[in-house]
Amino acid sequence: MKLNLTMTEKLIYQAQIYVTLRPSVLDPAGTAVQSGLQHLGYDNVEQVRIGKYIELTVSAASEHEAKEQVDRMCDRLLANTVIENYRFDLLEQQPSINK
Amino acid sequence: MKLNLTMTEKLIYQAQIYVTLRPSVLDPAGTAVQSGLQHLGYDNVEQVRIGKYIELTVSAASEHEAKEQVDRMCDRLLANTVIENYRFDLLEQQPSINK
């Protein structure tokens, strides 16, 4: 006997999201870190840019659905798209089946 | 005629550094973001953790040297290793030759 789990099976994805300042936007925090590194003797360091790295898990019926949802989350809340870019990877986790 | 550039040739690497909170450390910012996402209707999101993503370029004589230097920078300044973990990738850029 085979159970039809199509409607209840959900896939879990881990999204790894990178939010970075657009290249044209100044990054005072990055400049401060670069200056701090130079004070520690690392004068071979340049172009320090500081962004956010967000991990979250999302359950969805398909990878396509998860991708669309994470894209909307970034656009609406996680990134300020006026000054920031974002990109993300999705990693499939163990599936959870709600019987 | 071949010039000996061994002593002056420097390789440029871009380091992509991920600084994340240790799993045992609470992440109030992540909890706030998760709550924000739920208010927007994304109740299929869990385990939101917020870290830093740092890009910088470093010039060094070899990949080994660059790796050691970036590791020390993370340990000394970029990450607080009491509560944070870090990892990084190095990407080789165009070489710059100081004649």
Query: Residue A11: CB partners within 8 Å, gap ≥ 6?
Result: A59, A60, A61, A62, A63, A66, A92, A95
pLDDT confidence band for B72 (50 / 70 / 90): very high
The CATH classification number of B10-92 equals: 3.30.1280.10
pTM above 0.90, yes or no: no
**Closest-CA distance of chain B to residue A18, Å:** 7
Residue A2's pLDDT is what? 54
Q: What is the mean pLDDT of residues A16-43?
A: 96
Quick check: A67 contacting B, CB < 8 Å? no
* Higher pLDDT among residues B6 and A78, named by residue: A78
* Burial of residue B72, with CB atoms counted within 10 A of its CB: 0-12 exposed, 13-18 middle, 19 or more buried: middle
- Of chain A residues 8-37, which have a CB less than 8 A from chain B? 10, 18-20, 30, 33-34, 36-37
Q: Which CATH class is domain A9-93?
A: alpha beta
Which residue, B83, B85, B59, B80, is CA-closest to B70? B59
Between A and B, how many CB-CB pairs are < 8 A?
98
Residues in chain A closer than 8 A to B55 (CB atoms): 20, 47-49, 51
